[in-house]
Amino acid sequence: MRNKIKDLLNAEHPESDITVHGWVRSKRDSKNFTFLELNDGSCLKNLQAIADEDIGTYDVLKDINTGASVEIKGDLIESPGKGQKWELKAKAVALVGGADQETYPLQKKRHSDEFLRQIAHLRPRTNKYGAIFRIRSEASFAVHQFFRERGFHYVHTPIITGSDCEGAGQMFRVTTLEDTKKPVAEDFFGKAAYLTVSGQLDAESYACALGSVYTFGPTFRAENSNTPRHAAEFWMIEPEMAFADIHDNMTLAEEFVKYLIWFLMENCKEDLELFFNFVDKELEAKLTNMLTNDFERVEYREAVKILENSGEKFEYPVGFGVDLQTEHERYLTEKHFKKPVFVYNYPKSIKPFYMRQNDDGETVAAMDLLVPSVGELIGGSQREERLDVLDSAIEKMGLSMEEYGWYAELRKYGTVPHAGFGLGFERLLMFVTGVTNIRDVIPFARTPKNLEF
């Protein structure tokens, strides 16, 4: 198969008679020769190819422009020029597919993110988006590697669901009915079906069998909110551990986030540097700060006191029983603690039924991880494992015992303390790259009124 430019740029010694395929990023004509900058997507850097006018196929170069695909045969030699160790001395150049200079939208100049979103099928051909999506790929691998090394099993929880994970968000309906006014009994599944907002409940059933599990899959929100932080479809990672409490949960979350950042700094150095240099000058320090500090752990009660005594003017007033807003979260992590912080033991009135009730009667064993710039990166909890407490929480919420009967049964037979959390994958990518619009870390983003490609 083909030689990849990434491997050639890391070559140990010169190589004769190789074949390289790629897309031309730029062409520069000199008197007796032509330079081509070639990229094949394997890495950020280009391979420089030089064609002397005396090669037989020199004529073809006049038809080769930015965006064209080419095949070049030649020798990999040490580059006499600055800026690269190796270059390709061409013996034969072939045009594979041309790119018209008048219409090809990715000429060598800066393009706005807004413009590139409209050509999402072409934007991974740019440096920035190539880098983002190589990082996304490596981050995905890091997720699997982290959990596997710790003996977690990957579970594919269903995407189509009949349950709503207790109103974690508005849901899309899934149907085969021509007319949704017809009885749901006539629909494909014989009842109303939705796109999942979380795999947690299903993951719990697997944690209560395989011990430690995680999900990593798409989740959905039908919220009609056009913000830089919301997408209708995004990927989420949800680990779930049996025989674990809220403190084990925080320990796992801290190790996980640190591992992901470490892995990317180790494996995506070149791509990350693009963001360090051109997107956010503070980014590298922010990532390093994550790795070198122990994350703070503070109870919600204490966090509220810190906010009340901060002397800050918040848009939303704060007090026990109030859900923390992004402004509060960012104050705690950016100004007060100056590092990532877990806030835990939230008032039960603002949290879902499945979270474990604490002995104080007022709070549940919930936790959020707050990080600079982003605010909440992770949300999780210890789950209620006591059947009677869970049953009365389900009843109090007016949820259907029939629908949650199987979930309650996990507590009826061999119940165990267990805990887990959710990490929004795109939010992590935004944190790691400094990219501020979620549409720019998703290959083809789905947002209200936007379903292209």
Q: Which parts of 295-324 interact with a second copy (CB under 8 A)?
A: none
Binding mask 251-290 for a second copy (x = CB under 8 A): x---------------------------------------
Is position 420 an interface residue for a second copy (rule: CB under 8 A)?
Answer: no
Nearest approach in angstroms of CB 96 to a second copy is 6
Which CB, 97 or 317, lies closer to a second copy? Answer: 97
* Residue 385: CA count within 13 A, CB half-sphere: 21
Give the Cα separation of 318 and 94 in Å (integer): 67
Burial (0-12, 13-18, 19+ Cβ within 10 Å), 414: exposed
Yes or no: say if 299 and 256 are a contact pair by the CB < 8 Å rule. Answer: no
**Between residue 93 and residue 122, which ones bind a second copy under the rule CB under 8 A?**
96-100, 103-104, 106, 119, 121-122
Secondary structure letter of residue 357 according to DSSP: B
Is position 202 an interface residue for a second copy (rule: CB under 8 A)?
Answer: yes
Token pair, residue 194, equals: 């939705």
Site size toward a second copy (CB under 8 A) is 109
- Continuous segment of H or E residues that includes residue 298: strand 296-299
- Let me know the angle formed at the C-alpha of 399 by 218 and 194, rounded to the nearest 5 degrees: 30
Yes or no: say if 173 and 180 are a contact pair by the CB < 8 Å rule. Answer: yes
Nearest approach in angstroms of CB 129 to a second copy is 8
Which CB, 23 or 275, lies closer to a second copy? Answer: 23
Which span sits near a second copy by CB under 8 A: 204-212, 305-313, 335-343, 374-382? 204-212
Secondary structure letter of residue 184 according to DSSP: G
Which span sits near a second copy by CB under 8 A: 68-76, 317-325, 372-380, 390-398? 68-76
What Cα–Cα distance (Å) separates residue 194 from each residue in 215, 397, 452? 18, 20, 22
Nearest approach in angstroms of CB 173 to a second copy is 5
Which CB, 233 or 362, lies closer to a second copy? Answer: 233
Which span sits near a second copy by CB under 8 A: 79-87, 202-210, 272-280, 431-439? 202-210
Is position 155 an interface residue for a second copy (rule: CB under 8 A)?
Answer: yes
Locus of tokens 């109103």 = 167
**Between residue 422 and residue 441, which ones bind a second copy under the rule CB under 8 A?**
none
Yes or no: say if 48 and 67 are a contact pair by the CB < 8 Å rule. Answer: no
CA distance between the termini of the chain: 30
Give the Cα separation of 143 and 145 in Å (integer): 6
Is position 291 an interface residue for a second copy (rule: CB under 8 A)?
Answer: no
Is position 136 an interface residue for a second copy (rule: CB under 8 A)?
Answer: yes
Q: Which of 28, 78, 108, 158 binds a second copy (CB under 8 A)?
A: 158
Give the Cα separation of 165 and 314 in Å (integer): 32
Yes or no: say if 217 and 157 are a contact pair by the CB < 8 Å rule. Answer: yes
Which CB, 12 or 149, lies closer to a second copy? Answer: 149
Secondary structure letter of residue 200 according to DSSP: H
Which CB, 151 or 183, lies closer to a second copy? Answer: 151
Is position 401 an interface residue for a second copy (rule: CB under 8 A)?
Answer: no
Which CB, 209 or 291, lies closer to a second copy? Answer: 209
**Between residue 206 and residue 235, which ones bind a second copy under the rule CB under 8 A?**
206, 208-212, 217-218, 220, 222, 224, 232-233, 235
Token pair, residue 25, equals: 């990023």
Is position 35 an interface residue for a second copy (rule: CB under 8 A)?
Answer: no
Q: Which of 159, 168, 322, 399 binds a second copy (CB under 8 A)?
A: 159
Give the Cα separation of 399 and 404 in Å (integer): 8
Is position 365 an interface residue for a second copy (rule: CB under 8 A)?
Answer: no
Locus of tokens 């490596």 = 138
User: Which residues, 6 or more positions from 32, have their beta carbon under 8 angstroms from its beta carbon?
Assistant: 52, 53
Q: Which of 28, 29, 52, 141 binds a second copy (CB under 8 A)?
A: 141
Nearest approach in angstroms of CB 300 to a second copy is 25
Alpha-carbon torsion 342, 344, 347, 348, what sign? Answer: positive
Nearest approach in angstroms of CB 388 to a second copy is 12
Binding mask 78-97 for a second copy (x = CB under 8 A): ------------------xx
